[in-house]
Amino acid sequence: MNFIICNENAIYYECGYSNDNAIYLRLGSEAWFFTDSRYEIEATTSIKSARVIIDRDPLGMAVKIIKKSHIRRCKIDPKEWSIYSFERLKSIKRVNWIFEPDFSHKRRIIKNSTEIYNLSNAAKLGAVAFDNIAKEFAKDRFGKDEKSLYFQAETLMRYQGKYEISFEPIVAIDANAAKPHAVPDSSKVLKRGSLLLLDAGLKYNRYCSDRTRTAYVDNKFEFGYNQKFKSKKIQKAYDTVLKAHDKAISKARSGMRAYKIDSIARSIIEKAGFGKYFVHSTGHGVGLDIHEMPYISSRSRTRIEDGMVFTVEPGIYIPNKFGIRIEDTVVMQNGKAVVL
């Protein structure tokens, strides 16, 4: 198979190293890694499965190699490439460029044991960080706004700089939690009786974790599943989301189409009268990227298989009132979903 990639995580998957100015080319059984002199030491010592070419113009060198070859077809993911870069590839007139969107995500959709180990460790470290965040918030963060809480949560997710984060954390209080991807609002202040949504993750050996909890804030609180709210409407919504989360995980099976897992969660929320407030899909794959295949959505016909890793994250979002989301990452093992 012939293909060329420029996405950092896609390249890392192929050869165990990548940086922000690299090209990876495979033509049949031969492979090349192109980068510039800033990364020569790391590339030459880290990569064993491809020939390393150092040049100030990595793409230009890849074009030269392709021109010298006799290939007629080469796969490329159009989502990765700028128009400018692709125009340079098109200068090789005899090559038929085969567009395959999500090319690398498809290659990575089934995780091997090492990847699952990394994802599991990321999830475990993330869970401990959530506990630490709850303790810190309860101890001295009352009266602090979301922006302050956001920076505190990010520091704790990083373990004071030991790990990278998977994405910018979401810290949302009360009505701001009704926005699935809320940004910190300095007017929203943490107080006793608040609803607090936290969505965050970290990376372990480049592999991501992703977790969301919604909590009732009191003198002492934690991000466990068992939450008791004073508002009956919020409690009903919370219990509904938790039920949808639990059922989707317990009923997921290898061989099932992804849309059926989405349907399990969505039908519970619809039956409870909150259907129009579940505004996103039930989940997404997690790996080197925080969003990968498979997508657990109403339109996805991907067949779920052992080794796939994805989130289950149903939610209810009532504008200007509150939002609730409960999310875990699962791996399919022995035909069933196991929470990492």
Compute the distance between CA of residue 212 and CA of residue 199 in angstroms, rounded to an integer: 4
pLDDT of residue 145: 93
Q: Where are the domains of the chain?
A: 2-107, 113-339
Closest residue by Cα to residue 267 from 291, 232, 243, 299: 243
> Measuring CA to CA, how many Å separate 100 from each of 87, 211, 234, 259?
17, 30, 44, 22
Residue 141 is predicted with a pLDDT of 73
Q: Do domains 2-107 and 113-339 have the same CATH topology?
A: no
pLDDT score for 220? 84
**Hey, CA dihedral for 261, 304, 339, 201, is it positive or negative?**
negative
Q: How many Å apart are CA 159 and CA 137, to the nearest integer?
A: 16
The reported pLDDT for the residue numbered 123 is 98
C-beta of residue 122 within 8 angstroms of C-beta of residue 329? no
CA distance 49 to 220: 52
CA distance 281 to 297: 5
Q: Which residues lie below 8 Å from residue 323, measured CB to CB, with a gap of 6+?
A: 172, 176, 177, 178, 179, 180, 182, 197, 214, 315, 316, 317
Classify domain 2-107 at the CATH class level: alpha beta
* The CATH number of the domain covering residues in 113-339: 3.90.230.10
Kindly report whether the peptide bond that precedes residue 314 is cis, defined as omega within 30 degrees of 0. Answer: no
- Provide CB contacts within 8 A for 296, sequence distance 6+: 258, 261, 262, 281, 282, 283, 284, 310, 311, 312
Tokens of 246: 């639990």
If we measure between CA atoms, which residue out of 265, 182, 270, 177 comes closest to residue 215? Answer: 177
Averaged pLDDT, groups of 10, the chain, 340 residues long: 98 97 97 98 97 98 96 97 96 95 97 98 98 90 90 96 97 97 91 96 98 94 95 98 98 98 98 98 98 98 98 98 98 98
Res 138: pLDDT = 87
Please name every residue paired with 198 in a beta bridge, in sequence order, or none if there are none.
171, 213
283 phi/psi in degrees, rounded to 5: -175, 180
pLDDT of residue 139: 84
